[in-house]
Structures are given as C-alpha cells and as structure tokens.
Structure 1
Amino acid sequence: MSLFRSSLLVGLGSVASRVLGFARDVLFAQALGAGPVADAFLAALRLPNLVRRIVGEGGLNPVIVPALSRAGPDEGATVAGDALSVFALALLALTGLVEIGAGLIALLLAPGLHDDGETLALVALYTRLSFPIVLCVTLASIAAAVLNGRGRFAATALAPLAVNGGLILTLVVLESGFDLPLVEKAAWLAAASTLAGLIQLAIVAAALLKGRSRLVRFRRPRWSPLLKSLLLAGLPVLAASGAVQIYFLAATQIASFWPSGVSWLYYAERVMQLPLGLMAGLSAGLLLPELARRYQAGERQALITAQNRALEVALLLALPASAALIILARPISTVLFERGAFGSADTEGTALVLMALSLGLPFATVGKVLSQTLFALGSLRMAFMAAGMGLVVTVTASLLLAWALGPTGIALGVSLGCLGHAGAVTLGLHRFGLWSPDRQSLSRLVRTVTATIVMSLGLLGARSTFPEPGPLMLAALCLGGFTLYALAALATGAVTRDDWASLTKKSSEPLRPDAGLS
C-alpha cells in the first residue's frame, strides 16, 4: 500500500474519531453541564482518557515497531503473543488495585475537591466504572502496533471509532428515553465507556488473527531479552509518547481548585486535540515505521530528510489550526457547547482556556513529530527526559499564572510546557547530530507563516462583520478560512504539485533529499 493511501486511511480514521469525539463532548456538555457532577465525571475520565489517547495515538508503537522490524515473521509473532499475554496479566492486576483504591486515586486526580466529600465520592465511583477501559485499549494498542509494523492499517484506523460511537449512542438513549438525575447519567456513561473499549479490542483482535500468516502466536510467555526490553521500556515510552496528555493531567489537578475549572479545561482541550490528535496518529502510525526502517538500514541522511519533510507537513497543518482556534474560540465554544446545562459563563471560560491552549498547538505538534526520531533511534531516556522537562515547566508555569488568571493561566502553563518539551527534544536531536533543518524546510516555514497570516486577516475581517455567528455562519467561516489558507499556501509555494506527486510513492522507496514526506 502506498504511503498516500495509508496516510489517507489513517487520516480519515483519525478525523472520523475526532468528529465523533466532538459530537460526544457536545452531548456531554448538554447532559452534564459544567457543575460538580460534570467535574467529578470528567476528573474520573481523565486517567482512562490519558491512557486511551496515548495508546490510541500509537503510544506503544515506539517500542514495538522497532523491535518487530528487527525480528523475522515467526519470531515477531511469538514476541507479540508474549507481550499481549504479559501486559494482559499486568493490566488485570492494575485494574484490581484501582478498583480497591479508587478513593485515594480520586483525591490524587482532583485534590481541590478534598473538602467536598460528596463530589469526591462521585469521582471514585466513576473511576471504578470507567477504568477497565484501560485494559481494553492498551491491549488493542499493542495489537494495532503489530498490525502497523506489518503494513496493515484498516482495523487500527477504524477500531477507535467504537469508543466514541458507543458513548454517543448511550448519550442519545439516556437523553431521549430516560429522565435520570445527573449523577446516574454520569454513572451510565462511565460504564458504557468500558463496554465500548471492549468492542474496540474485539475489532483489532479479529484483524490480528485474520489470514493464513498469523501475526501473533500465543504460548506460555518466556522471559526473552526482547520481551524484557519491551516491558522495561513500556512505561518510559508511554510517558514520553503521551507527554502532552500528562501535562493536561497535571493541569486538571491544579484546575480542580477552581469552580468549573476541570470542565472548562476538558472541553477546550477536546477542541484543541482535533488537529493535534490527527498529527499524533500519523506520526506514530506512519512516520515512526519509516524512520525505524531508515535507521536500521543506516540511511542517516534519509532519516533527517524524512524528519524535515514530516515537520513541514505538521506545521502546514498546525499553524493555521492554531490561528483559527484563537480567532474563533468564542463562537466555537458557543455553538458546540452552550445549550442545556452549559451556560454563557461556561462558554466564556471555555473560550478563554481554548485560546490559551491554542497558542501551544504548534509546539505540541513539533514535539510529537520530532520525538518519533528519538523513538526510532531507541533513545528512550532522552525522550523521557524531554517529557519530564515539559512537565516541570507546565506545573511551574500553571501554578504561577493560575493565581492571576485562573483556569486560563493554567492553560497558558500547558502551552509553555509544550514549548519546553519541543525545545528539549530539539536539543536531544542536536546532541545526536540529527537536527539539521535544510533550506527547503526554512523556506517552507516562511511560506506557511505567510499563508497563515493571510488566513488570519481574512478571519478577523469576517469576525468583525459577523460578531456572533450561529452554527451555519461558523461553518462558513471555517470553510472560508480553510479555502483562503489553501489558496494562500498554493500562491506562496507552501504547497506545490511536487508534494502531491511525492506522496504517491511507496514508503519502501529510497527517499530523495528533495522529496516530500516519506
């Protein structure tokens, strides 16, 4: 399958998942609002969602894909079976511990609720109901990494739709056929998330076991050096892959000290995650296997070239997305969330948080893309240290800014943490001699910035003409902004015809220094 078709499939799956996520969160806001029950529910979902987003965006690919690329088909199938068996046992034990200690975990997730025993008890209840999804999605992610490493992308791209689809179905049923208190609605949603995760695991498992040449073989696990390296690297890889998600977890803990702070941060993050999640899925699912092949083949310059071209594409998407979200934050929050239990004050708070988070979107994207090179090299220590640097910056900046700006200051702290993470990853690549932006990269960056400025001026003019756009006008603004940016990108040369031609080349072909993303 060509890289273009693979990219299209993974991209469509990511976009579809994010669109369903938007629909789900709109229904969340309508059903639960942004009060104490919503804070408890969203705080409880923060830990399962942290794991789901990390592994769902290919968080385990950096340790599994390079290992499988070094192993033959038979050995790879055996190692994959051992990894699934061992992780299943470990996750069962972890789930049991969480079910027992949910009260303590609730306090850790939302320390600002320590004086509100009733809300804290709800956090513990919802944690018990929703945490088993961690077992399902992690095993599904391992299976998906095996499929990606062997060039199969269909099931891995479509299976995550089951989680958001299941929650949407549950919300529709609860809102249309039952008149339940908010506490019970949230409990049903927490339980439904676990069931949806089980469906996702079943879809990926069916794809893994399909065909004559099975990609996984189960046996009694043996403590091989390769399995040992997978297990020892698992936690650092998850931490490094999910750096931004961990920053949001820390920010949620701080936001719990402000009324509705958890909810505002969650809803704003979900909007910001649409472009970021797309790039994360493409990076881990497609870029990482390519970089790993280049590294194993000793093609150092080709690896650097692939990294530069990937960064160009990432910024081509991230810069206009960041600008558009900042300019349209208020109408986006109004149209998506302001209905039912979600009031105008919640809209204003969510919009300010979204603007602050959108400032960090380009840096989060750069950190995600460049981290793939460190993973391909097997430099997990450097990737882990970079993630840790970003976390220190996030916590420090959030605490300092929160006292003056509240939840908006916390969001600014997350953006600064993303900047710190991207800077630390860049320094790590420079240390390995792999940070070498070429003239093409710098030229395209200037052209992308120019096209983004043109789009921003157009959106600002439209916003002054339509200060309070409704759903249709917001859709028109988004479509118009995208069209204007596309035309400006073509006019400035940020996108060329050669880029489309290069995308159709198969990923196994040698990468020319002047080629596009490979």
Structure 2
Amino acid sequence: MSLIRSSLLVGLGSVTSRILGFVRDVLFAQALGTGPVADAFLAAFRLPNLVRRILGEGGLNPALVPALSRLESDEGAKVAGDVLGAFALALLALTGFVEIGAGLLAFLLAPGLHDDAGTLALVALYTRLSFPIVLCVTLASIAAAVLNWRGRFTATALAPLAVNGGLILALVVLESGFDLPLARKAAWLAAASSLAGLIQLAIVAAALLQGGSRLVRFRRPRWSPLLKSLLLAGLPVLAASGAVQIFFLAATQIASFWPSGISWLYYAERVIQLPLGLMAGLSASLLLPELARRHQAGERQALVTAQNRALEVALLLALPAASALFILARPISTVLFERGAFASTDAEGTALVLMALSLGMPFATLAKVLSQTLFALGSLRAALAAAGIGLVVTVTASLLLAWPLGLTGIALGVSLGCVSHAGAVILGLSRFGLWSPGWQGLSRLARTAVATLVMSLGLLSAGSLFPEPEPLVLAAFCLGGLVLYALAAFATGALTRDDWASLTKKSSEPLRPGAGLS
C-alpha cells in the first residue's frame, strides 16, 4: 500500500473517530449538563478515556514496533502472541484491583470533591462500570501495533470508531426512549463504554486472526528478556507517548476544586483533541515505523529528513487549527454545547478555557512528532524525562495561575506544560545530534505562519459581521477559513505540488534483521 493511501486511510479513521467523539460529547453536554452528576461521570470517564486516547494514537507502538522490526517474521509472530497473552493476564489483575479500590481511585481523580461524599460515590460507581474498557482497548492496541508493523491499517483505522459509535447509540436510546434520573443515565453510559470497547477488541482480533500464524502465534507466554523489557516498558511508554493526556489528567484534578471545572475543561479539551489527535495518530501509526526502519538500517540522515518532513506537515496543519480555535472559541462552544442542560454561562466558561488551550496546541503537536524519533531510537529515558518536565511545569503553572485566573489559568498551565515538553524533546534530540531543522524547514515554517495570519485576519473580519453565528454560519466560517488558508499556503509556497508527489512513493515492508531499505 502506498504511503499516501496509508496516510489517507489512517487519517480518515482518525478524523471520523474525532467527529464521532464530537457528536458524543455534544450529546453528553445535552444529557448531563455540568452539574455534580456530570462532574462525577466525566471524572470517572477521564482515566479510561485517557488510556483509550493514548492507545488509539498508537501509544504502545513505540515499545512494540522497533522491537518487532528487529526480529525475523516467524519469531515476531511468536513474540506478538506472548505479548498479547502476558498483557491480558496483567490487565485482568489490574481491572480486579480497580474494581476493589474504586473508592480510593475516585478521590485521586477528583480530590476537590472530598467534601461531597455523594458525588465521590458516583465517581467510584462509574469508574467500576467504565474501567473494563481499559482491558479491551489495550489488547486492541497491541494487536493494532502488530498489524501496523505488517503494513495493515484498515482494521486499526476503523475499529476505534466502535467506542464512540456505541456511546452515541446508547445516548440516543437513553434520551429518546427512557426518562431516567441523571445518575442512572450516567451509569448506563459508563457500562455502555465497556461494551463498546469489547466490540473494538473483537474487530481488531478478527483482522489479526485472518493473517494466521504469519501475524501472530499464540502459545503459553514465555518469559524472555524481550517480553520482560516490553512489559516493564509498557507503563513508561504510555506515560511518554501520552504526555499531553497526562497533563490534562493533572489539570482535571486541580479543576475539581472549582464548580463545573471538570466539565468545562473536558469539553474544551475535546475540541482541541480533534486536530491534535489526528496528528498523534498519524505520527504513531505511520511515522514511527518509518523512523524505526531508517534507524535499523543505519540511515541517520534519512531519519532526520523524515523527521523534519513530518514536522513541516504537522505544523502546516497545527498552526492554522490553533489560530482558528482561538478566534472561534466562543461560537464553537455555543453552537456545539449550549443546549439542554448546558447553559450559556457554561458555554462562556468553556470558550475561555478553549482559547487558553489553543495556545499550546502547536507545541503539543511538535512534541508528539519529534518524540517518535526518540522512540525509534529506543531512547525511552529521554522521552520520559521530557514528559516529566512537562508535567511538573503543568502542575506548577496551573496552581500558580488558577487562583488569579480560575479555570482559564489552569488551561494556560497546560499550554505552558506543552511548551516545556516540546523544548525538552528538542533538547533530547540535540544530545543525539538529531535536531537539525535546516533552512528549508525554517522557511516552510515562516510561510506557514504568513498563511495562518492571512486566514486569521479573514476570520476576524467575518466574525465582526456575524458576532453570534448560527450553526450554518459557523460551518461557513470553518470552510471559508480552510479555503482561504489553502489559497494562502499555495501562494506563499507553504504548500506545493511537490508535497503531494513526494507522498506517492511506496512504503517499505518490515525490515529483516540486517536488511537495508529498498
């Protein structure tokens, strides 16, 4: 499959999943609003959804793909089966511990609710009902990594749609056919998320088993040095590859001390995750295997070139998206969420948080793309250190800014965490001698910035004519901004016809040990 077809397939799956996630969260806001029940549900949903997002963006790929790339085909199939079996046993044990200790976990997720025993009890209940999704999506992610390693992307791109699609179906059914109290309605949604995760696992497992023993070979897991390293690296890899998600988890804990803080931060983050999640998914699914192959073949300059090219494309998308979200934050929050139990004051608060988060989005994208090089090198320590620095800055800045600025200050703390994370990743690459953006990259960045400025001025002008746009007007803003940016990008040279031609070359097959690239 050509690189452009693979990119389009993975990108289409990511975009569709994010759009369904948007629809899901709009229905969440309509059904649950921003009161105590909503805060309890979203606090409980935060942890499994965090794991699902990290894994859905290829969170385990950094540990699995480079390791599998160093093995012969038959040995790789055996190791893949060992990893699936070992992780299944470990996750079953973890799920059991969570079911037993959900009360303590609820306090850790939302410490600001310590004086509200009833709401904390709801957090514990919803955690017990929704946490089994972690078992399902983790195993699905491991299977997806094996499929990506073999150059198969269809099932891995489409399977994640099951979770959001299942929750949308559950919301529609609950809203149309039943008149349930909010607390019970949220309980059904938590249970539905676990069932949807099981469906996702079934889809990926079917695709994996279709490949027979060539893709995976099951046996009683053998405790090998490789399996040990993968198991021990699992949690650090998730922490490093899902750094931004962990920043939001920490911010949610701080936001729990403010009324409706969990809800406002959650809904604003969901808007940010549409473009950010797309780039993260493409990076882990497509860029990482390519970088791993280059590193395995000893092609250092080719690795740097691939990294820089991916960064140019990522910023080509991230800069205009961040600018548009900042300018359109208020109409987006109003049009998407202000209905049912979601009041106008909630939309205003969510908009302010969204504006603050949009400032850090380009840096989050930069860090996500560049981290793939560290993963390809097997330098988990550097990636984890960068994530740790970002987390420390997030917590410190959020606490310092929260008191004068409230939830907006917490969101600014997350953005500052993304900036520091990106800087730490660049520092790590510099130590390996792999940070060399070059004149071409800097020139492309400047042209992208000019095109983004043109689009921003156009959106500001249109916004002055329609200060309170309706859904159709907002859609016209988005489409018009996209067209204006595309024209400006071609005019400035930020986007060229050669960019499309360079994507049509064939992607490489998995490398054999010691083999070079064709």
Match of 2:86 in 1: 86
Match of 1:276 in 2: 276
Structure 2 counterpart of 1:265: 265
Aligned twin of 1:383: 383
Q: Which residue of 2 aligns with 1:462?
A: 462
Q: Does 1:254 align with 2:254?
A: yes
SS of structure 1 residue aligned to 2:204: helix
Map of 1:299 onto structure 2: 299
Alignment of 1:207-218 (within 5 A): 207-218=207-218
Letter in 1 for 2:75: E
Whether the 8 Å contact between 2:133 and 2:193 is mirrored in structure 1 is yes
Give 1:229 deviation, angstroms.
1.4
Secondary structure of the structure 2 residue equivalent to 1:398: helix
Q: Give distance in 2, aligned partners of 1:214 and 1:51.
A: 29
Give the aligned residue type for 2:327: I
Alignment check: 8 A CA contact 1:10 1:281 kept: yes
| 1:21 to partner: Cα distance | 0.2
What code does the residue aligned with 1:200 have? Q
Question: Are 2:66 and 1:61 aligned?
Answer: no
Aligned to 2:516: none
Deviations 1:177-213 (A, max 9, x none): 0010100110000000000000000000000010355
Alignment of 1:118-197 (within 5 A): 118-197=118-197
- What SS does the corresponding residue of 1:330 show, helix, strand or coil? helix
Deviation at 1:436, TM superposition (A): 0.4
Whether contact under 8 Å (1:59, 1:238) holds in the other structure is yes
The one-letter code of the counterpart of 1:130 is S
CA distance in 1, matches of 2:227, 2:75: 11
Q: How far apart are the structure 1 equivalents of 2:482 and 2:294? A: 34
Alignment of 1:432-511 (within 5 A): 432-508=432-508
For residue 409 of structure 1, what is the aligned residue in structure 2?
A: 409
* 1:91 alignment partner AA: L
- Alpha-carbon distance, 1:439 to partner: 1.3
Retained in 1: the 8 A contact 2:291–2:303? yes
Structure 1 SS opposite 2:210: coil
1:279-428 matches, within 5 Å, as 279-428=279-428
CA contact (8 A) 2:291 2:306 kept: yes
Q: Which amino acid aligns with 2:301?
A: Q
Write out per-residue CA displacement over residues 123-144 of structure 1, whole angstroms, 9 at most, x where no aligned residue: 0000000000000000000000
- Write out per-residue CA displacement over residues 239-274 of structure 1, whole angstroms, 9 at most, x where no aligned residue: 000000000000000000000000000000000000
Say whether the 8 Å CA contact 2:77–2:213 is kept in structure 1.
no
What is the match of residue 75 of structure 1? 75
What are the Cα deviations for residues 308-339 of structure 1, in whole angstroms up to 9, with x where unaligned?
Answer: 00000000000000000000000000000000
Q: Which aligned pairs between 1:30-69 and structure 2 lie closer than 5 A?
A: 30-69=30-69
Query: Which residue identity lines up with residue 242 of structure 1 in the other structure?
Result: G
- Aligned residue type for 1:177: G
Give the AA of the match of 1:38: A
Deviations 1:399-429 (A, max 9, x none): 0000011111100000000001000000000
C-alpha separation in 2, matches of 1:437 and 1:47? 36
Output one character per residue of 1:128-161: Cα deviation in whole Å (capped at 9) or x when no partner: 0000000000000000000000100000000000
Cα distance in structure 1, aligned partners of 2:395 and 2:176: 41
| Residue 117 (structure 1) aligned with residue 103 (structure 2) | no
Contact 2:73 2:214 in 1 (8 A): no
Matched to 1:301, the amino acid is: Q
1:512 alignment partner in structure 2 = none
Post-superposition offset of 1:225: 1.5
Q: Which amino acid in 1 is paired with 2:313? A: V
Residue ranges of structure 1 left out of the alignment (5+ in a row): 510-518
* Matched AA of 2:160: P
Q: What percentage of residue pairs aligned between the two structures are identical? A: 86
Structure 1 CA distance, aligned partners of 2:220 and 2:118?
46
Instruction: Determine if contact 1:208/1:214 at 8 Å carries over to the other structure.
Output: no
Cα RMSD over matched residues?
Answer: 0.7
C-alpha distance in 2 between matches for 1:214 and 1:179: 51
State the alpha-carbon separation in 1 of the partners of residues 153 and 212 from structure 2.
Answer: 18
Given the alignment of the two structures, is residue 199 of structure 1 paired with residue 206 of structure 2, yes or no? no
2:274 aligned partner, one-letter code: L
Partners of 1:220 and 1:120 in 2: CA distance: 41
Paired residues of 2:74 and 2:214 also in contact (CA < 8 A): no
Could you give the per-residue CA deviations for residues 86-133 of structure 1, whole angstroms, max 9, x where no partner exists? Answer: 100000000000000000000000000000000000000000000000
* Letter aligned with residue 500 of structure 2: W
Runs of 4+ in 1 over 2 A off after TM superposition: 211-214
In the alignment, which residue of structure 1 is the partner of 2:514? none
AA aligned opposite 1:271: V
- With over 3 angstroms needed to count, the CA separation of the structure-2 counterparts of 1:211 and 1:84, relative to structure 1, is closer
* SS in structure 2 at match of 1:209: helix
TM-score between both structures, scaled by the size of structure 1: 0.98
Mapped to 2, the partners of 1:212 and 1:425 lie a distance apart of: 39
Partners of 2:404 and 2:273 lie apart in 1 by 26
Q: Distance in 2 between matches of 1:44 and 1:86?
A: 26
Aligned mates of 2:472, 2:227 — CA distance in 1: 53
Matched residues in 2 for 1:140 and 1:457: separation? 44
1:167, distance to aligned residue in structure 2 (A): 0.1
Distance 1:152 1:96 in 2: 33
2: CA distance, partners of 1:331 / 1:338: 10
Q: Give the Cα–Cα distance (whole angstroms) in 2 for the partners of residues 195 and 225 of structure 1.
A: 35
Equivalent-residue separation in structure 1 for 2:179 and 2:417 (angstroms) = 42
Larger mean Cα displacement after TM superposition, 112-121 or 206-215: 206-215
Count of aligned pairs:
509
